[in-house]
C-alpha cells in the first residue's frame, strides 16, 4: 500500500481563487475560469458551496450543495451551451 507524501495534494481538482467576476478551478492540472456571466448559478453561492466540488470520471464536476453538474466541455466551450446559462 502506497502512502501519500506529506504536503503533496492527492486531489486532481480544487477551487483556486474566487473574485467578484468568477472563480478559478484546477482540474487534472489544467486551470479553468468560470465567469459568473457564463455560469450565473454560482454568483450567490457561499465559499463553502463553491469549494465543495466533486470530480467524477475525470470529466464530470458536481457541486452537491448547489445541485449543479457540468462536464469539462462546458468549461472549455461555454458558448456551445447557450441554454445552459439562460
Instruction: Note the pLDDT of residue 38.
Output: 86
The dihedral through the CA atoms of 10, 26, 86, 50 has a sign that is positive
**Range of the structural domain that residue 73 is part of:** 13-80
Residue 6 lies in a domain: no
Per the structure block, which three cell numbers stand in for 68? 449543479
Residue 51 lies in a domain: yes
**Residue 32 sits in a domain of what CATH number?**
3.30.2020
Residue 67 lies in a domain: yes
Residue 23 lies in a domain: yes
- What pTM did the predictor assign? 0.77
Alpha helices in the chain (DSSP H): 47-51, 72-76
Residue 70 lies in a domain: yes
Instruction: Note the pLDDT of residue 82.
Output: 73
As for how many domains the chain has, the answer is 1
Spatial separation of the C-alpha atoms in residues 35 and 16, rounded to whole Å: 14
Residue 41 lies in a domain: yes
Q: Which residue has the cell 473574485?
A: 19
pLDDT at position 50 over 50: yes
More confident residue, 38 or 61: 61
Amino acid at each position: 500500500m502506497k502512502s501519500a507524501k506529506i504536503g503533496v495534494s492527492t486531489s486532481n481538482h480544487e477551487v483556486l481563487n474566487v473574485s467578484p467576476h468568477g472563480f478559478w478551478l484546477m482540474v487534472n492540472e489544467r486551470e479553468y475560469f468560470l465567469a459568473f456571466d457564463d455560469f450565473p448559478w454560482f454568483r450567490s453561492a457561499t465559499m463553502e458551496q463553491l469549494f465543495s466540488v466533486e470530480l467524477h470520471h475525470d470529466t464530470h464536476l458536481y457541486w452537491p450543495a448547489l445541485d449543479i453538474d457540468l462536464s469539462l466541455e462546458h468549461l472549455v466551450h461555454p458558448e456551445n451551451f447557450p441554454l445552459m446559462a439562460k
